[in-house]
Amino acid sequence: MSNRLDLSVGEWQRVSPKYVVVVIVSAVVSGVVLAAAATFLWLVAQWSWGWLLLAAVVVITIVSLIIAPRRARSIGYRMREDDLLFRRGIMYQRFVSVPYGRMQLIDINRGPVGRILGLADLKFVTAAASTGVVIPGLPEPVAADLRDRLVELAESRRAGL
């Protein structure tokens, strides 16, 4: 049983390198909105500590932009015999194993930036709400092929239960 979750065996599939653009755009948009709110509080609402809030937002946005490429590279998945293994995270790594027979819904989502770049997110829904997994930044054809393969595997595994 010790080799059940052996993370060194097999090849991890990574998300598209274009996904970095999605992460960067998200960080910039969030930073601009939060900076505008902090500026409003500082200049219009006359909150004396508003400039500290603005400085914090700028620093957090810059750090987010610096680590964006690494965050995107940390996401991966691997199809194993009985399940799909998903990983993400830099400091706090998360590994989720989704058994094929437990998959109830496999959904493809495309946001506006991802759609422009030809990327899609693959979302898995299982009976347990806490195991919801999203693989972001897959090229659309890869996401569609993976969805079809996983649906086929899920149906065959559920039929064997």
Contact predicate 86/96, CB 8 Å: yes
In this structure, the answer to whether residues 80 and 154 fall within a common structural domain is yes
Q: 20-51: buried (b, 16+ CB within 10 Å) or exposed (e) per residue?
A: bbbbbbebeeebeebbeebeebbeeeeeeebe
In this structure, the answer to whether residues 151 and 90 fall within a common structural domain is yes
pLDDT above 70 covers what percent of the chain? 90
In this structure, the answer to whether residues 52 and 81 fall within a common structural domain is no
Phi, psi at 51, each rounded to 5° = -65, -30
Which of 20-29, 111-120, 150-159 comes out lowest in average pLDDT?
150-159
Q: In the prediction, which pLDDT does 2 show? A: 44
Q: Which two tokens stand for residue 150?
A: 């996983």
Q: What is the pLDDT of residues 88-146, one digit of tens each?
A: 998 899 888 888 888 888 899 999 999 999 999 999 888 776 666 899 999 999 999 99
In this structure, the answer to whether residues 83 and 146 fall within a common structural domain is yes
In this structure, the answer to whether residues 91 and 138 fall within a common structural domain is yes
Give 12's contacts (C-beta < 8 A, 6+ positions apart).
Answer: 76, 77, 78, 87
Q: How confident is the model at residue 160 (pLDDT cuts 50, 70, 90)?
A: low
Domain that holds residue 110: 76-159
Instruction: For the chain, give the longest Cα–Cα distance.
Output: 66
Q: How confident is the model at residue 1 (pLDDT cuts 50, 70, 90)?
A: very low
Task: Please give the mean pLDDT across all residues of the chain.
Answer: 88
Give the length of the chain.
161
Q: What is the CATH number of the domain that holds 155?
A: 2.30.29
Q: Which two tokens stand for residue 144?
A: 């569609």
**pTM more than 0.85:** no
Q: How far apart are CA 79 and CA 133, in angstroms?
A: 14
Q: How confident is the model at residue 26 (pLDDT cuts 50, 70, 90)?
A: very high
Evaluate whether residue 6 is within a structural domain: no
